[in-house]
Structure 1
Amino acid sequence: MKAEIIAVGTELLLGQILNTNAQYLSRELASMGIDVYFQTVVGDNMGRLRHAIELAAERADILLLTGGIGPTQDDLTKDALAAALGRSLHIDPPAMEQVERFFTSRGREMTENNRRQALVIDGSTPLPNETGLAVGVAIEQKGKFYIVLPGPPKEMKPMFDRQAKPWLLQHALTDEMPIYSTMLKFAGIGESLLEDKLLDLIQAQSDPTIAPYAKEGEVSVRISTKASTEAEAMKKLEAMEAKIRERLPEHLYANTDVPIEQTIVELMTERGLTLSAAESCTGGLLMESITAIPGSSAMFLGGIVCYSNQMKEKLLHVPHSLLEGDGAPGAVSPEVAEVLAEQVRAVADSDFGLSVTGVAGPGDSEGKPAGLVYVGLAERGRKAEVFELRFSGNRESVRVRSVKALFYQLWLKLISK
């Protein structure tokens, strides 16, 4: 089945808020085997909203509308859908009781316009709002399925998950087989090279399907299949995963949707290994990434953000002759990356020490170009290894990709043991 998402709100058109609802709904619908071919954004205008609904009904089986169901006069989504379907609106008693109870419990007077939040379309199924006041709507007409959801994500997500999704499964997807997916995660390889390695599999795909996705420093491949049972699905997914793993064993770090730092935390914790870090151009991003993972306290001992040369000398004993003066390689150099990794490992007495020093941009530094980064990896009892990285992109991109590249080198070291 095909779906279209219609996000309602002039604030979306003005760029005042991001349309994260469409991203969430597209992902959820894909997991249900529903294809989203169009996403539409419409302002708070009755005529344009009704036209968008009528156009979407011509090209989609399922329409999901988000936003525009609050108490004010510009909240017109239910009105426009009712008009497009030739139906009327009425107050849903349970929803009205919830609105009244909200104001009574807070000792506040309820204005008349708040009654709009309890409106539903004649013949529809009300979708209770567990985290807000505006009731949602689900309705079928002439083989089309319409869902109306709140705009705020904290209300929309639970309503879709607990109310709308079961309604769709019961009314719209009765003949559809469920879709099953596996997410493979890769590091140390770009999207174009990964696609090239898997091109014949992608071009020949039918079932399972293969879809690559990319974000800063990581690439994912979603393998999906429809099957009548989970056992049947897993057999097909595992066979395709084995083919992909055989081609890219040095890059595939997980078969669940987790960042590489989580894999590292789990591996090091299981083996009783510890880690420390020294960061310059990334300014603590590496440590933040690690400590965002639950359980990281078992393996991460601590780190130092040594942004200035003074801090590199004072805290990690980087020789002044490496940092400044005639013939000095400078802070952005393999020599300094090596000392930082070895010194932070020694200071923390950890099994591994990581370091990052470079030019995040946007301009050059020390006569070295933006995007030039050196990362160091020190292991107890071994000489530190240093890797030169060259990135394009903005400052944040360089910082994120530097951290991910260093995590990849640490992961390679861990799986080689």
Structure 2
Amino acid sequence: MFRSAEIIAVGSELLLGQICNTNAQFLSKQLAELGINVYFHTVVGDNPERLTTAIHTAKERADLLIFTGGLGPTKDDLTKETIAKVLQKNLVMDENALVNIETYFRKTNRLMSENNKKQAIVLEGSNVLANDYGMAPGMALTEKKHTYILLPGPPKELQPMFVNYGREYILSKLGVKEQIVSKVLRFFGIGESQLETDIDDLIEEQTNPTIAPLAGDQEVTLRLTAKHHSEEEAKRLIAQTEKLILARVGEYFYGYDEDTIFSVLFDKIQQSKYTLSSAESLTGGLFSERMTTFTGASSVIEGSVVCYTNDIKENVLGVSKEILDQFGAVSEECARDMADCAKKLFQTDIGVSFTGVAGPGTMDGKPVGTVYIGLALPSGETTVHHIQLVGSRDGIRQRTVKYCCHLLLNELFKSS
């Protein structure tokens, strides 16, 4: 059983900021699904001395070391050479890999230079991982207490190689024929620290399933991972833990796995056979843009008005001049009338509205981050929600449309 893993990315281009290290993100997610903890991500330039130091350091704190990059044909591709030196292993030519490389050049009608043969050289005694989408093969090798996996740098090569071959090798080394099942719970409207506080005892007592919190993109997720000889029993263990979690923080829960808060709302409205329209001042059409990305959007979305100015609010949308004069565009009263007007204009079951101050300056005497969201509901009731946000102009707009989804989902589920 692996106690922990470390991912070591090799390449000076990563340190120079020329490319993002998306491989580490992908591999961490894959390893989490296998129940393997990743405690460190390391990035090393194309330098054998520094890579050697990184390897020795990683061996002290992890028993699974995964390397990405540095398997190419050029002189600065030095990952396997450095590892071979550290492990005192020979490098040998893999004939199958060489044939694959030669075949690739023939198919593309390109002349194969001599240095490309370097990509077919592997660590002696390693399991060679086929590269179905490129040339350089990967390698997997277990030496004493440590397992080393070498993967190419390009994500289009690395990802299928790991899923098809690297994952299988790791599972073979776990030593037990357990089923590993994962499920992601998605939350909005609660911060990571508050969610962890609310379920702190469950996290502290976790054994099987494990509970891994993650915050990002203004949301919080919990990954539940269970292991058992029976897949059904693993799923039962996850369901049991999920029930305990949702009993405490269920009001913020909206979906699973690859769900987004927009896809969940869209599906709910479509299943309810409702139609939707919007009036967007603050958000400038962002909400309707997100909601029209789904197949079948024309059966749900009737239309939207982007109404930045009071003139458009009044003369196109139909907002009362008296409301604009008395309360201003950034007000509860205006948000309510905007939602009602959108619902009436497009003759929909639901109308939503957005008005507020995204910045950089104040508006109508209201500070940056002031947001009003109006919801004209199928029941005939119209509610307005005032929230105060912080952050950049774009961040405020992005969070506003997500808050609308969260609020509307709560209203629709409450009535169903």
Counterpart of 2:383 in structure 1 is 385
Relative to the length of structure 1, the TM-score reads: 0.91
Counterpart of 2:371 in structure 1 is 373
Q: Deviations over 1:87-122 (max 9, x none)?
A: 222332222222223332232222222222222122
Deviation at 1:180, TM superposition (A): 2.5
Counterpart of 2:175 in structure 1 is 174
Counterpart of 2:394 in structure 1 is 396
| Aligned AA (1:94) | N
Which blocks of at least 5 consecutive residues in structure 1 are unaligned?
Answer: none
Judge which range, 254-263 or 156-165, deviates more: 254-263
Looking at structure 2, the residues matched to 362 and 67 of structure 1 have their Cα atoms a distance apart, in angstroms, of 43
Looking at structure 2, the residues matched to 202 and 55 of structure 1 have their Cα atoms a distance apart, in angstroms, of 29
Identity of aligned residues (%): 45
Looking at structure 1, the residues matched to 174 and 203 of structure 2 have their Cα atoms a distance apart, in angstroms, of 27
Counterpart of 1:84 in structure 2 is 86
Counterpart of 1:226 in structure 2 is 227
Contact 2:186-2:253 within 8 A present in 1 as well: yes
Deviation at 1:61, TM superposition (A): 1.5
Q: Deviations over 1:278-319 (max 9, x none)?
A: 222222322232233444443223323333444333431234
**1:144 has 2:146 as partner:** yes
Deviation at 1:410, TM superposition (A): 0.7
Q: Alignment length, in residue pairs?
A: 413
Counterpart of 2:197 in structure 1 is 196
Q: Deviations over 1:172-192 (max 9, x none)?
A: 212374433332222333333
Which blocks of at least 5 consecutive residues in structure 2 are unaligned?
Answer: none
1:267 match: secondary structure: helix
Deviation at 1:58, TM superposition (A): 3.1
Looking at structure 2, the residues matched to 63 and 284 of structure 1 have their Cα atoms a distance apart, in angstroms, of 46
Looking at structure 2, the residues matched to 81 and 315 of structure 1 have their Cα atoms a distance apart, in angstroms, of 68
Aligned positions of 1:300-339 closer than 5 A: 300-323=301-324, 327-339=325-337
Alignment RMSD (CA, Å): 2.2
Looking at structure 2, the residues matched to 107 and 374 of structure 1 have their Cα atoms a distance apart, in angstroms, of 61
1:250 match: secondary structure: helix
Relative to the length of structure 2, the TM-score reads: 0.92
**1:207 has 2:175 as partner:** no
Q: Deviations over 1:22-45 (max 9, x none)?
A: 111111111112121221110011
Deviation at 1:164, TM superposition (A): 0.8
Deviation at 1:9, TM superposition (A): 0.8
Counterpart of 2:116 in structure 1 is 114
Q: Deviations over 1:182-221 (max 9, x none)?
A: 3222233333332333233333433333333223443222
Deviation at 1:5, TM superposition (A): 0.5
Looking at structure 2, the residues matched to 301 and 215 of structure 1 have their Cα atoms a distance apart, in angstroms, of 31
Q: 1:311 to 1:158 in 2, by over 3 A?
A: farther
Counterpart of 2:54 in structure 1 is 52
1:416 match: secondary structure: helix
Contact 2:278-2:339 within 8 A present in 1 as well: yes
Contact 1:216-1:397 within 8 A present in 2 as well: no
Deviation at 1:380, TM superposition (A): 4.2
Deviation at 1:257, TM superposition (A): 4.3
Contact 1:275-1:350 within 8 A present in 2 as well: yes
Contact 2:180-2:231 within 8 A present in 1 as well: no
Q: 1:60 to 1:205 in 2, by over 3 A?
A: closer
